[in-house]
Every structure is written in structure tokens, then in C-alpha cells.
Amino acid sequence: MNPDIVKERQNATFNVEKLTNILDGSTEKTRRRREIESMVLNDPDFQEQDPNFLSRSERYDQAVRKSAQMILKLREFGISDPDEIYYYKNLAMANQHEALGLHFVMFLPTLYSQCDPQQSRKWIPLAQSFQVLGTYAQTEMGHGTHLRGLETTATFDPATQEFVLNSPTISSIKWWPGGLGKTSNHAIVLAQLHTQGNCHGLHAFIVPIRDMDTHVPLPGIVVGDIGPKFGFSEVDNGFLKLENVRIPLDNMLMKYAKVEPDGTYVKPPSAKLTYGTMVFIRSMIVGQSALALAKSCTIAIRYSAVRHQSELKPGEPEPQILNFQTQQHKLFPVLATAYAFTFVGQYMKQTYNRISGDIHAGDYSGLPELHALSAGLKAFTTWAANGAIEVCRMSCGGHGYSRSSALPDIYVEFTPTCTYEGENTVMMLQTARYLLKSYSQARGGQQLQGSVSYLSRLQPQPVSAGVPPLNIQDLASLVQVYQLRAANLVELAATSIQQELQLRRSQEDAWNSSAIDLVRASDAHCHYVVVKLFADKLRQVEDPAVTSVLSTLALLYSLHGIASNSGDFLKAGLLSVPQALQVSAHIKELLIQLRPNAVALVDAFDLNDKRLNSVLGRYDGNVYEHLFEWARHSPLNASEVHESFHKYLKPLRSKL
């Protein structure tokens, strides 16, 4: 064990295990997670070659093997709880993606939520037994987040009781679905439903794409892999062109919308029910943002504790780089954000499950807010995490550039979340629609509930009226000022649209001309939600020492957000210039307070070395020995003299 890392852990002012239990949800959940992790760590079937030294085809092959092994192992051990399955798979896959990921996170959940009882009896057993391996084919080459623009058609033929599916243009070819290229034999295809001469918008259809025995593409199916990408090397993201593909009537998912045998269309109780799977994934992505940040700051902070460089005072030994204020200012806000997003991820999971239960019982009232919150928080957390991962990588200097650090892999595997399941700017605009609708309702005297309830309390008074003095050391005061900032920016966006309409612009043009304000309003709303949830979580913590260190993190997260967005707070009259200077000064004090607990706080994430897969982030801190060992495994070192010397370099001498 590196002596620097030992000393860091001895300096901690709180019980790391108690904080780990809070992050997991309970002592029992921590115990069970570690028990499951030990199954993977001690299983020889999960020993593998370092994927950094494999070709893409080899990485895909290894990922498929591991996915198949995980399915068999989970059944062997009787692991069926979703959280426990998540623990198991995360450790087995480390920082790579599962080859069958979309089968589990999109195909099966869509069957569960969109099949009617008869369809459930047919399709769910087939999918659970992996006779049917599925993906979710929504995005097209020319259409992504704008779902209404999708061109794939499903036309009902009453004479044969079939839907005829087509990709009518080059831009309508399905593009990007994971597992589509080589793995899946079925796809849930989102297509424009046409019946009785009318188009009824997007609906979901189960489409066989490969023979279940031979795995050969079926007639009318043109399918394949789209090629190398920025990350996701283990996943066969694919294309799908449909040429007069016929499927039975009951292959349309009909829990909510239906087509009768004569072609009569029965519309669903809510159009948003079609997009339930996307809401589920967006809710999950919030938790993935927290995990990516937890991994990144664990690596960077542990490495900063054992890396010595430069001088603080001439003639003295090189200090740990974690002692430099600039390093703390880079990494400690990321650490605070990782904790904030962890608690938001827990909230989104609970909220999704609660509202899903309500929907199952026929209550759709919570669906609009869930849709808006999942879209906005998905964008807010992934944007923040994407930038913060790169901060962590650069904080590790030259070694952070090496894939041995795992930080390049974390970055390239996480970055696509800013685009898939809804491009982030569009997601923020979707949230803005909900905010403006809520604002209008509040102006009309309606009492709002949930995350937008503050819009009711602040109307009809101007949002800047009667603002109490800001106490930068009081979290409740900071929650309120974030709330006021959000309300102010929502009002500014609404005012902008009204001004555009007064210029006789169309509603669409007014919206586009106000889009920057709308995104800022959504961003501020999401920021308020995160700060509030962090404060709410503190009230649930009983241990005083843990409460103290989490309070310091919450203050740092909140004040760092004010410093980064000071213009909003100043323009709204929520912050004075002297207070802005106090914020910057107090952030420096918080860095000093957090310094003794930095390593202990990342230890509390309890990320096993295998799960991190990082030489720089090792628990024992023995970085340099293992960095040298890792480098020696490079395939270029398989021989002392590479064949290129004899083929090209040696002959070159005789030609000059």
C-alpha cells in the first residue's frame, strides 16, 4: 500500500462505511452488492484480455461471450433483483458496454410496458429465454431526436391482416440501434402507422429481422453494422432497411393504441405512452452520469494523492499535487457533483417507479412531469459529467492521456449520452415546454405540484420582489436563491415569446427566436432541482460526521454553481457584487475543509479495482509499478524486433 494513500485514509473525519451504506441505500444492500461482486471477481470465466489491445471484431466477440456467460451465471445463482443484476453486470463489464445491452434496457422493458395481455404471453417468454434477441430501432439516418419526422412506414393491409413496413427514402433507413448490426434477430421498430388512408403517427411494431435458427437476414431485410464509432467498440450499432416487409396485425404493440381487423384505429389515452421506454432510459442515464463522475474523480483524486510534482517551497520535497489549490479547485467540485448526481439518480429511479405504478393503475397525471424532468435532467447531468470527466483526465497530466488510466475510455463511452435518447438541446426545449405551460397555469391562479410548485408560490409578484438576503453558508438559503433564479429565467423566456408574438411572428418563429432563453430556463430549473434534492438528502442522514462532510460537499456544489452562473444571479438581483466575492472566498475555504476527506470520499463510492480498470486509480496507490507492467503487455512488445523493421526500414537503407 502506498504510504501517501494510507496517510490520506487516516486523516478522514467520518466513517467511510456509513457513507457507502447511504450511497447504496442500506447496510444490507452494501453487503449484498459486495457478495455479488465477489462472485464475478473469483469467476475464471470472466478473465479476459485487456480490450485496449484487441481489434474491434475481437472486442465484440469478447463482449458477446461475456454477455452469454452473464446470462447463464445469473440464472445459476438465482439473481433476479434488478439492482443486483446491475451490480453483477457492471463489475463483469468494467468500463465496456454489454453486447446485449439494448435487449435488456429497451427491448424487454418495451414489451413489458406496451404489450397487451395476449402479446405478453407470446413475446415475453421468447425474449426472456433469448430465443428472441431484440433491439429498439427508432433513430433513422436523417432523423434522430425529432420523432415526428421519422419516415419509416407501417401500412395496414386488411385483406391479409398484415402491416407492410417500408423504408421509403435513404434518410429513413434505421441507423444507430445497438445490437442491430449482428446480434439481434428481432427489432421493435418505430414507424408511422397508416390505416384507412390516414396516418396516425408513430407506433411500435415487433419485426423479425433474422431467422431464429440460421441467423440469416429475412427477405426484405437489409441489415448490418455501421462501422467504428467514438467509443462503444463492443457494440454492433447497426442499420436496417425495410423493403415491403410484412408482419401480422398482432405484431403492433397494442396495450394502449389498437388497430381493429377492419383497419379502425383506436387511439391511446396519452400520446406520451408510446415513449415510455425512452423516459425509462433517460431516467437511468442520470444515474449513469453519477457513476461516470464517481469513477473519474476516484481515479483523479487517488492519483493526485500519490503523484508528487513541482515545488510549493524552494528546496522542499515535491508535494502531492492534491495539495495545490488549483488541483483542488478542479477536482473537488467534480467530487461534489458526483455526490449530487448520485442522489438525483436515486430520486429519478424512485420517481419513475412510482409514476409507472400510477400509470399501470390508470393514473396518467404524473406522466407529463416525469417526461419533462427525465428529459431535462438527462441533458443537465450528461452535459455536466461530460465536461467534468475531461477535467479529471487533464488533472492527471500526461498519464491521464494513456488508456491505462481508464479516463479516455470513460470519456468516449460516456460522451454519446449527450446525444442518444434525445439530443440534449432538444431535451432542454422539451422541458421548457412543460415549464412555460406550468408558468401559464400559475399565472392563471392554478396551484402547481411537484418540481414546478415554486412557480405558483412566486406568482403574480415579480420574482425579484422581497428577496431575502443571501446566506452563503446556509444551504436552505442557497436552495431558495436557485429557485428564484429558475423562476426568473422561466419568466424571462415567457416574456421573450410574448414580445415576439406582439411583433406578429408565428408561434413557431417566436419559439425559435426565444430558444436560447428557453434552454437557459430549463438549465436553471434542473440546477435548482439538483441543489434541492441534495439538501433534502442531508435531512435523511443520521450520522453527524457524515452529515458534516456531505454538507460541505453540498455547499461547494451550490456555491460553485453560483460562481459559474453569477451573471444570472446578478441580473436577477439575487446576488450583489460583494456577495459574489464572498462566494469565491468561501469556495476556497470549502476546498481546505474537504482536503483531509478527499480520498475517503472517493473510497465511499466503493468502486472495486476491476470495476475501475484504472492503473492510476488503484486502491493501493501503487501506480508506477503497475503502469510499467501494463505497458509491457502492449502487443507491439510481443517481439523485440517488429516485422516492419525487416519489411520496410532495413530495405530503406539500401535504397538511399
Query: Which amino acid is it at 28?
Result: E
Cell of 80: 433476479
Instruction: Determine the Cα–Cα distance for residues 247 and 534; give it in Å rounded to an integer.
Output: 49
617 annotated ligand binder: no
Pairing of strands 238-242, 174-175: antiparallel
- Active-site position among 234, 369, 413, 421: 421
Q: Cα(376)–Cα(372) distance, rounded to whole angstroms?
A: 6
CA separation for the pair 629, 93 (Å, rounded): 22
Residue type, 458: L
Q: Do 394 and 331 meet the contact criterion of CB atoms below 8 Å apart?
A: no
CA–CA dist 397, 61 (Å, integer): 33
SS3 178: coil
Nearest residue to 455 via CA among 493, 486, 424: 486
C-alpha cell at 467: 428577496
How far is CA 421 from its chain centroid? 10
Cell of 431: 422541458
In the chain, what is the greatest distance between 2 CA atoms, to the nearest angstrom? Answer: 90
Closest to 225 in 3D by CA, of 164, 179, 282, 280 = 179
The whole-angstrom separation of Cα 102 and Cα 180 is: 9
Per-position DSSP letters for 537-565, written without gaps between them: HHTT---HHHHHHHHHHHHHHHHHHHHHT
C-alpha torsion angle, residues 145, 147, 153, 158 (rounded to 10): 150
Q: 247 phi and psi, to 5 degrees?
A: -130, 155
> What count of Cα atoms within 13 Å lies in the side-chain half-sphere of residue 80?
3
Task: Clarify whether 640 is annotated catalytic.
Answer: no
139: annotated binding-site residue? yes
**Half-sphere exposure of residue 621: CA atoms within 13 angstroms, side-chain side:** 20
- Residues in contact with 335: Cβ distance below 8 Å, sequence separation at least 6, in sequence order: 297, 301, 553, 594, 598, 601, 602
Q: Residue 537 and residue 249: Cα distance in Å, rounded?
A: 49
Question: What is the gyration radius of the CA atoms in the chain, in angstroms?
Answer: 27
Q: How far apart are CA 371 and CA 352, in angstroms?
A: 10
Three cell numbers, residue 419: 446525444
Per DSSP, what are the bridge partners of residue 174?
Answer: 140, 240
Q: What distances in angstroms separate CA 396 from CA 301, 380, 406, one per listed residue?
A: 9, 25, 11
Binding residue ranges for FAD: 139, 178
- Provide the annotated binding site: 139, 178
* Active centre residues (catalytic): 421
